[in-house]
């Protein structure tokens, strides 16, 4: 009976030894998994912090871009207003130029007519001057005769 008990104790001791080994392996595996969990938790925390920083940076970039966009919209509105003023001014100048061109054309026509009249008057003057010379010569002859 003692040998049976001794065998039973040996069997139980072997079983305890196997269980202790398994416990040691499981404890080691648990420690490894726990370390991986801590590492992943830290990685997640770091990633979340990085994401939060990026989110804040993006918010600031968006805010700055919105401000810049407001400024550009104001500038664009001013430029459109200036463009409209310039278009109106251009239309006014074209209207004035058209009037001036018509006036110039009328003046050039008048000038051409005046030149023709001057030519005609020069011709008449030349004829009259010749006649006056002839009459003066005749008068001079008559004076001499008298």
What is the number of H-type helices and E-type strands within the chain?
1, 0
CA 101 – CA 92 distance, rounded (Å): 14
pLDDT tens readout for residues 21-50: 999 999 999 999 999 999 999 999 999 999
Q: What are 79-135's pLDDT values in tens digits? A: 999 999 999 999 999 999 999 999 999 999 999 999 999 999 999 999 999 999 999
Distance separating alpha carbons of residues 140 and 26, to the nearest angstrom: 158
């Amino acid at each position: 009976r003692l040998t049976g008990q001794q065998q039973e104790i040996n069997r139980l001791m072997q079983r305890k030894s196997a269980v202790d080994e398994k416990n040691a392996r499981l404890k080691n595996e648990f420690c490894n998994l726990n370390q991986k969990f801590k590492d992943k938790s830290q990685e997640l925390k770091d990633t979340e912090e990085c994401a939060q920083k990026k989110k804040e940076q993006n918010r600031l970039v968006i805010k700055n871009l919105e401000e810049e966009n407001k400024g550009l919209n104001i500038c664009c509105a001013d430029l459109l207003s200036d463009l409209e003023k310039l278009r109106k001014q251009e239309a006014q100048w074209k209207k004035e130029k058209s009037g001036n061109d018509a006036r110039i054309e009328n003046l050039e026509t008048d000038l051409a007519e005046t030149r023709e009249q001057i030519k005609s008057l020069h011709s008449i003057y030349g004829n009259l001057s010749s006649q006056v010379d002839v009459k003066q010569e005749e008068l001079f002859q008559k004076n001499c005769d008298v």
